[in-house]
């Protein structure tokens, strides 16, 4: 959960920094929706958890486990950066198409703005999972 929050914060910062166009509206991206529905992200998260468990369960020395954990952290950081870059590129493209001046994450906006999450999902090949009916 902590790593997911770090990813979401990094993604939010990347979106704030990366999207400029010639129009005046503000675009919104729902990062929680993206991460919940994006197989690339969920697969990376699942692999990270599996690798963490494997390191913890290994019979190596504490020094070996610490080295493995550091290597895993570096690998996860690279993967996170790649995912952020993909989302930033998609959001930048949509922002340009819709002539948006700024794109921010929905998590930090109470109301207003143009939701471009669906357009970003299309560019990333994400299919939104249906919401279960009560």
On the question of pLDDT at 3 being above 70, the answer is no
On the question of pLDDT at 41 being above 60, the answer is yes
Question: How does strand 26-29 pair with strand 102-105?
Answer: parallel
Q: What is the pLDDT of residues 94-112, one digit of tens each?
A: 999 999 999 988 887 777 7
On the question of pLDDT at 8 being above 80, the answer is no
Question: Which pTM was predicted?
Answer: 0.70
Burial class from Cβ neighbours inside 10 Å (0-12, 13-18, 19+) for residue 26 reads middle
Structural domain spans, the chain? 2-124
Mean pLDDT of 50-61: 91
Architecture of domain 2-124: 2-Layer Sandwich (3.30)
Bigger pLDDT: 17 or 48?
48
Task: State the DSSP code for 106.
Answer: G
């Amino acid at each position: 959960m902590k790593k997911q929050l770090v990813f979401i914060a990094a993604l939010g910062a990347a979106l704030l920094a990366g999207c400029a166009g010639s129009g005046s509206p503000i675009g919104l991206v729902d990062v929680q929706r993206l991460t919940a529905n994006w197989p690339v992200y969920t697969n990376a998260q699942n692999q990270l958890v599996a690798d963490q468990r494997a390191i913890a369960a290994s019979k190596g020395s504490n020094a070996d486990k610490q080295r493995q954990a550091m290597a895993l952290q570096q690998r996860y950081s690279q993967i996170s950066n790649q995912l952020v870059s993909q989302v930033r590129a998609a959001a930048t493209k949509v922002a340009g198409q819709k002539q948006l001046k700024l794109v921010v994450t929905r998590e930090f906006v109470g109301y207003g703005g143009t939701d471009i999450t669906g357009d970003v999902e299309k560019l990333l090949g994400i299919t939104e999972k249906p919401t279960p009916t009560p």
